[in-house]
């Protein structure tokens, strides 16, 4: 039996000539190749689209969250500003009142006990507190009468 000559490595890796390649048919094999190409591209394109959508959602949500936080902070700051404006208005009204002679006289009489010449000032003591109530049971029998004195 005669042996066929072996191809060397250089020849085996070299592209085949048209005459060496098997004849292609445009039948079911060609459709199967297109379907496998679509299947492979679907496996590549689907994750890429998913990654792009995920990045878009994250890119949209991060600024939205920041915007909502800034609105909340601005509302809190506006409320604090309104409170401070009210406190400033009250302090200004009190300062204006302290510039009048009537307010100065009222404070001098109430807080410092001042009086005009010829007036007498009476200081009243606060009311006495209720006496201590003790139960009439054994250890406290004589204690109640001594506290009432």
pLDDT digits (tens, 9 = 90+) for 19-68: 555 555 555 566 666 667 666 777 788 888 899 999 888 888 778 888 88
Q: Taking residues 12-23, what's their average pLDDT? A: 54
Does 41 or 148 have the greater pLDDT score? 41
The DSSP-derived string for 43-97 is HHHHHHHHHHHHHHHHHHHHHHHHHHHHHHHHHHHHHHHHHHHHHHHHHHHHHHH
Smallest Cα–Cα separation from 145: which of 125, 131, 127? 131
User: What does the domain layout of the chain look like in residue ranges?
Assistant: 44-110
Question: What radius of gyration do the chain's Cα atoms show?
Answer: 51
With a CB cutoff of 8 Å and minimum separation 6, the contacts of 107 are 98
Residue pair 120/109 in contact (Cβ under 8 Å)? The answer is no
**pLDDT at position 98:** 93
pLDDT digits (tens, 9 = 90+) for 40-51: 777 788 888 899
Q: If you ran DSSP here, which 8-state letter would residue 140 be given?
A: G
């Amino acid at each position: 039996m005669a042996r066929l000559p072996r191809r060397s490595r250089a020849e085996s890796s070299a592209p085949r000539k048209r005459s060496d390649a098997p004849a292609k048919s445009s039948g079911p094999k060609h459709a199967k190749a297109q379907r496998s190409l679509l299947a492979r591209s679907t496996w590549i394109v689907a994750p890429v689209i998913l990654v792009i959508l995920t990045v878009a959602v994250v890119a949209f949500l991060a600024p939205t969250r920041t915007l909502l936080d800034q609105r909340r902070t601005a509302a809190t700051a506006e409320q604090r500003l309104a409170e401070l404006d009210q406190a400033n208005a009250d302090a200004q009204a009190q300062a204006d009142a302290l510039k009048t002679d009537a307010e100065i006289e009222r404070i001098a009489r109430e807080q410092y006990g001042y009086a005009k010449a010829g007036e007498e000032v009476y200081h009243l003591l606060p009311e006495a507190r209720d006496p201590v109530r003790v139960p009439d049971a054994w250890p406290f029998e004589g204690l109640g009468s001594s506290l009432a004195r």
